Structure 1
Amino acid sequence: MPQHYPFSAVVGSDDMALALTLSTISPAIGGVLVRGEKGTAKSTMVRALASILPPIDVIAGDRFSSDPREAQPLSPDGPFGPDADVETRAVRLVELPVGATEDRVLGSLHLEKALSEGVTEYEPGLLARAHRGILYVDEVNLLHDHLVDLLLDAAAMGRSTVERDGVSVEHAARFVLVGTMNPEEGELRPQLLDRFGLTVEVAAPRDPAVRVEVVRRRLAYETDPDAFAARFADDEAALTDRIQAAQKLVEQVDLSDWAMLKIAEVCAAFEVDGMRADIVTARAASAHAAWNGRTAVTRDDIRAAARLALPHRRRRNPFDAPGIDEDLLERILGDDEPEPPTPDGTDGDEDEGGEASTGSAGEGSAGDESSTPPAPAEGTSDASTGSTSSTSETSETSETDTSTSEDTSTPGGTDEVTVAGAQQPFRPKLFTVGGTGAGESGRRSRAITETGRRVGAAPRTGQGGSIHLTETIRAAAPHQIARGRALGSRGLDFRASDLRLAIKEGHESNLILFCVDASGSMAARRRMEQVKTAILSLLMDAYQRRDKVGLITFRQDGAELALPPTGSIDIAASRLADLPAGGRTPLAEALLKTADVLRLERVRDPRRRPLLVVITDGRATFGDDAIGRAHRVAAHLGATGVASLVIDCETGKFKMGLALQLADHLMAEYVPLGEVSASALTDVVKGAA
């Protein structure tokens, strides 16, 4: 059975196929990030890529795949003489698991031999294995930040350095970095996003005929993999030959002054930051020309390169959806400039559908559809542009009048529903959860993590971790005589049981769960606007610090999980912008919903500590004995020990003090607010640690 589904058999992913191909033709482009919903053949296509790449020559016996054409290969197994044996092997595709340790990525030293015998024996890691190949990170957005930094540093420098307790090993690490991700599960930080040379947005094809072909091929592959692979063997061989020819031709491609100026005009028009976009676009355009057998960059090459190199570099903040204005691109490229001549006499206008042909009819249209960047999420523009800012100028008297007239005229509250927007989000200050946790590495609260400063040591129980040399020596010293070491003899006799790993204190990420009253008593436009702005600002901060944020809203006759715990700020901004307000106040139902969400998240992610923020005036107007039921549920929730904070949004001259009573039952910190402003709310939340 073939190891992977054939690359040329994948339907409807032409842009992705092109991006992967260009990166293998010119690895200096910087790799590919593939963003898309689940079930769009992202992993299938990446894993199939290695099977169509031309084989490479390596020095026989070298664990670091050194190129025999290099005068002085950077390999710990060297030096190699001029007569070193050479062998040919396939290009490796190395997969990096999300849960990999730093030692697994960088490699590690044989600690027992290093300590007892003084022998430096280095065990290569994944970066060494991926040298001159492909390093694939599935769900790269879920990878710990320090590992992502290691990958990108190695990709940028072309080498990896391993240092453990004064011993240093360096080796070459040049590879094509490919990452795939589902944006619904969280975003990459902008600075990391920019380090990928190309990016592709993929989606399932909408054409029923294309979807039928996808299912037909998959079923045929699962029924008889060998016959299916044989069906596409010629296409696979043709792709290999074409890639090999392009790899040889790319160094001969002429990037004329006209082409470089046009690339600069495109990058300037799209207002990208820095110069990396210009460099990547130039490299991708040259690779695209070589892919099509040309030795001069044309307008079509620049167009194809810009569509892959620029979309993710146009994001100004996490609320901006990646994408590129195709009409603007066409206007910049124009058609009045003469095309540079090509030596083979072609006019440089090859069908782009052939660039990433994957061996099936109809794939061009599907690829065009799947590569079209999505429009910004509905409601995001309001949140990021502050289009409702004029509303915030409403006088305090007007807001107070509105708040006292709602939900008090009748016991059941008003049924009028309003939707308030949010102002421009701001940069909030850091807030943390008290104590020391043991959650996933992040940038929020104190915790015992894999990175940080040493605060202690513990016996080694697994393969990973950083050695604590002092404590290891201290553990071995009392046993030297029993192990046969004479007094005055040099060196120590170490055993595996002596090894101690460093306990490090760093920072963790947290779950910030908002429970927001959206009933009639909260429907005053300015009040809800300020609440939304504060949540949106905290959400942006949580994105940068790798937190999860969830949102529960309650109104009318129930509570809704408007935003399941997530790190995706695009989805969160959209959900928040459309949040309505009005109706009765089902406070007890909201707290029951909150307890369910926290219980489920404890099972899903037991190491992540939550902070519950309840934003309400404390009223309860739905059902019999509404306030009594709410207080009983609050007491039950408070008994679970969850860290909580109650923000009292009650306004007006006559206050009932219900939010204070709720805080007492919830065993939460109570913060009274005469007027809820975005900055005041955020400062209170940050001070809840």
Structure 2
Amino acid sequence: MRTFPFSAVVGSDDMALALILTAVSPEVGGVLVRGEKGTAKSTMVRALASVLPEQTVVMGCRFGCDPDDPDPSCPDGPHAGARAHTRSARLVELPVGATEDRVIGSLDLQRALGEGVTAYEPGLLAAAHRGLLYVDEVNLLHDHLVDLLLDAAAMGRSTVEREGVSVSHGAKFVLVGTMNPEEGELRPQLLDRFGLTVEIKAPRDPKLRTEVVRRRLAFDGNPNSFAAKYDDQEETLRKRISDAQLRLPTVELGNEALEKIAEVCAAFDVDGMRADIVTARAAVAHAAWNGRTSVDKADIRAAARLALPHRRRRNPFDAPGLDEDLLDQILEDQPEPEPPNDPDDRGSDDSSPDDQSLDGSQSQSQSQQDSGQPDSAPRNQSAPQPRDHGPADTPADASDESPSDGPAPGLHVAGVQEPYRTKFFAASGIGGGEAGRRSRAITSIGRTVGAAPGGETSGGVHLPATIRAAAPHQVARGRTARSGSTSRREYDGPEALRIQASDVRRSITEGRESNLVLFCVDASGSMAARKRMESVKTAVLSLLLDAYQRRDKVGLVTFRGREAVLALPPTSSVDTAARRLEELPTGGRTPLAEGLMMAERTLRLERLRDPKRRALLIVVTDGRATAGADALAYSRRAAEYLAATGVDAIVVDCETGRFRMGLAGSLAQSLDAQYVALDEVGASQLVSVAGGKSLHSEDTGQTPGRAA
């Protein structure tokens, strides 16, 4: 079945240009495509392979060596006098769940144990040499695999030093990664290793959208007939890429152009020198693509638009982007425009339509999320049920009903301070969740602590354990005994060890896992003190930043008035989290029980989605419950029900003042949680509580599950 033609894709000009530039010059460093779902990212990448020029390779070489320029250190070499043949450019897809030995290759176990020789079995990097390596959802790929890919893409070689294998082979490929930012970002240092980046969105023009749908339906109806209509365009594009590759070495990058590239990169305040190098390479490729033999300002502009946006980010809360007006001013040597004389002209009316749309869509998304949370798990009949509230059964609370300035009567939105760097803390015990950078766990990467049959673990082959498992069965498998020996355990000299699949043992490795930290925050009127909510918001935001770096997930449940809402579903997307936290209002009564039950439902759903990910619940409240009759008793029942689920929990008591009711301490006992007073942890230390019960007990001497 034919793929969708590259030239038939509409509305993705920037992505098409970025892919073509890396096809012309793989040294550019690959392309990262960021975009919402359903924007033809994968379709376009797979279509690129069909327009890449055919290759001549050495026949029988597993690494696809070029017969005109063979790799002198190729493991299958030397290739002097070897026959050659022509093949299409390869597209190799790397699954998100791939293991390291599948990516870079490993010891050929069958030959090592069967023939007694050290042999290398190539991985996906070898298969992608001189072709296209595609990683869908690259932001979900383990960091160590991303490091391997980017190092190989930058160096053009893959070096393997493991399990007695020492191999280096060519690995020049066009690396393309696609991702949806809603599912989490790449770390800035990894983002910087991609040469070019493209932000792609679905077109908003109805005519263009109509054309997209028309072509897609036509292709699905008859792929061969639809693709045949674009054969001439595909061949023209293939010929142009081939010509650009041949022209590339002749393109001149003059001193004036090089100085202009340095000026552009310095003006946009990018870190390091990689931006200058990538921009220069992309500008040369762009000139070759357009049939020129020297780089001009148009080439520099096109290269800078693709090479600089993702390098201007200072932290995960910054969105990638580039001021194209400033870029034009630098290229044309124009001074920056002076600010307007009238300061009133710079008011709120100057906000861009894009910003207004973003805020509007975010508010709509928030309201949809607050309207209800789907609950597909069966509810335990013993769980406390929601209550009906009314004026008669709601005790008055002057502090909860106090008026304040804000978006609604009785509500205000506290600000968020600058997030700070958190200390490293880990949950107690050893888990078995997804590989990350926080708590100890049995994962697919790390130090070897044991061995198990191949189907029970995903680690690498444990050779000593495999040999020990096979040794007792050698006579039964026909391995002959040594001449003159009376022992069935003595064999003829060099005969190979006979291995079966059931003998293979794989390593059990201990590394680090990622966790889910769920905050349950009291946002009622008693918490409306500006500094208090600023401290809570800043702590949650700081933990989210730390979780982003350590691959954790963070969620936020808030409760006020008469209901609890999931303000931040468990996520690793720091951009979404920052907006939700900044918009969190405070005021009204305190539905503590509803907040606890919303936390229970959220944790229950997350356990269904990812049973191995450990969770830590942090309840931030003063312990008051003022919504509904018997509010305190109902909250106690909710806490006891939540404790019965076995969740690790911590209660941070936000009650202040000389006279305290101690309600948060009672809540901690009912929840079987660790109790921490806010004046003991402070705003800058709130994140320390998230390290786990055992750690805090060591620091303070308090006993988990008991109120101070």
Output the TM-score relative to the length of structure 2: 0.85
Any conservation in 2 of the 1:412–1:621 contact (CA below 8 Å)? no
- Deviation at 1:374? 8.4
Distance 1:588 1:671, change over 3 A: same
Cα deviation code 1:276-316 (max 9, x no counterpart): 10010001111111111111111111111000000000111
- Deviation at 1:531? 0.6
- The equivalent of 2:641 in structure 1 is 636
Tell me which of 413, 416, 420 is aligned to 2:414: 420
- The equivalent of 2:179 in structure 1 is 181
Counting only pairs closer than 5 Å after superposition, residues 327-406 of structure 1 correspond to structure 2 as 327-334=325-332
Alignment pair present for 1:558 and 2:563: yes
Distance 1:428 1:220, change over 3 A: same
The CA distance in 2 between the partners of 1:683 and 1:514, in whole Å, is 14
541-550 vs 679-688, which moves further: 679-688
Identity of aligned residues (%): 66
- The equivalent of 2:103 in structure 1 is 105
Counting only pairs closer than 5 Å after superposition, residues 484-495 of structure 1 correspond to structure 2 as 484-486=480-482, 487=490, 489-490=492-493, 493-495=497-499
Distance 1:448 1:644, change over 3 A: same
Alignment pair present for 1:581 and 2:586: yes
The CA distance in 1 between the partners of 2:463 and 2:230, in whole Å, is 56
Any conservation in 1 of the 2:400–2:587 contact (CA below 8 Å)? no
The CA distance in 1 between the partners of 2:230 and 2:192, in whole Å, is 35
The CA distance in 1 between the partners of 2:428 and 2:50, in whole Å, is 51
- The equivalent of 2:423 in structure 1 is 429
The two structures, once aligned, show a CA RMSD in angstroms of: 2.3
- The equivalent of 2:307 in structure 1 is 309
Alignment pair present for 1:510 and 2:510: no
Tell me which of 267, 270, 273 is aligned to 2:271: 273
- The equivalent of 2:123 in structure 1 is 125
Alignment pair present for 1:498 and 2:503: yes
- The equivalent of 2:446 in structure 1 is 452
- Deviation at 1:102? 1.5
Q: Aligned with 1:264: secondary structure? A: helix
The CA distance in 1 between the partners of 2:246 and 2:205, in whole Å, is 38
Cα deviation code 1:165-222 (max 9, x no counterpart): 2232332111111000000001101111000000000011111111111111111111
Cα deviation code 1:142-170 (max 9, x no counterpart): 00111111111211222223344223233
Distance 1:407 1:679, change over 3 A: farther
Q: Aligned with 2:518: secondary structure? A: strand
The CA distance in 2 between the partners of 1:161 and 1:490, in whole Å, is 35
Any conservation in 2 of the 1:322–1:373 contact (CA below 8 Å)? no
Counting only pairs closer than 5 Å after superposition, residues 588-599 of structure 1 correspond to structure 2 as 588-599=593-604
The CA distance in 2 between the partners of 1:132 and 1:643, in whole Å, is 51
Any conservation in 1 of the 2:593–2:631 contact (CA below 8 Å)? yes
- The equivalent of 2:689 in structure 1 is 684
- The equivalent of 1:80 in structure 2 is 79
> Given residue 21 of structure 1, which amino acid in structure 2 is its aligned partner?
I
Q: Aligned with 2:166: secondary structure? A: strand
Distance 1:127 1:71, change over 3 A: closer
Tell me which of 446, 467, 481 is aligned to 1:473: 467
Give the number of aligned pairs. Answer: 627
- The equivalent of 1:18 in structure 2 is 17
Alignment pair present for 1:6 and 2:11: no
Any conservation in 2 of the 1:311–1:323 contact (CA below 8 Å)? yes
Any conservation in 2 of the 1:485–1:493 contact (CA below 8 Å)? no
> Given residue 29 of structure 1, which amino acid in structure 2 is its aligned partner?
V
Any conservation in 1 of the 2:70–2:79 contact (CA below 8 Å)? no
Distance 1:443 1:294, change over 3 A: same
Q: Aligned with 1:331: secondary structure? A: helix
Tell me which of 223, 228, 237 is aligned to 2:221: 223
- The equivalent of 1:362 in structure 2 is none
- The equivalent of 1:619 in structure 2 is 624
The CA distance in 1 between the partners of 2:458 and 2:167, in whole Å, is 18
The CA distance in 2 between the partners of 1:377 and 1:195, in whole Å, is 29
Cα deviation code 1:562-604 (max 9, x no counterpart): 1111111111111111111111111111111111111111111
The CA distance in 2 between the partners of 1:411 and 1:226, in whole Å, is 68
- The equivalent of 1:198 in structure 2 is 196
In structure 1, stretches of 5+ residues that fail to align are 338-371, 380-405
Tell me which of 670, 673, 681 is aligned to 1:668: 673
- The equivalent of 1:31 in structure 2 is 30
The CA distance in 2 between the partners of 1:301 and 1:11, in whole Å, is 23
Tell me which of 534, 537, 547 is aligned to 2:539: 534
- The equivalent of 2:45 in structure 1 is 46
- The equivalent of 2:702 in structure 1 is none
The CA distance in 2 between the partners of 1:407 and 1:193, in whole Å, is 53
Cα deviation code 1:602-639 (max 9, x no counterpart): 11111111111111111111122111111111111111
Cα deviation code 1:341-384 (max 9, x no counterpart): xxxxxxxxxxxxxxxxxxxxxxxxxxxxxxx99899769xxxxx
Cα deviation code 1:25-82 (max 9, x no counterpart): 011000000001101111110010001111111111111100111154442221112x
The CA distance in 2 between the partners of 1:411 and 1:12, in whole Å, is 52
- The equivalent of 1:394 in structure 2 is none
> Given residue 5 of structure 2, which amino acid in structure 1 is its aligned partner?
P
Tell me which of 383, 389, 398 is aligned to 1:409: 398
- Deviation at 1:126? 0.8
Q: Aligned with 1:461: secondary structure? A: helix
Distance 1:407 1:320, change over 3 A: farther
Distance 1:436 1:596, change over 3 A: same
Q: Aligned with 1:554: secondary structure? A: strand
The CA distance in 1 between the partners of 2:457 and 2:428, in whole Å, is 31
Any conservation in 1 of the 2:561–2:590 contact (CA below 8 Å)? yes
Tell me which of 262, 265, 272 is aligned to 1:264: 262
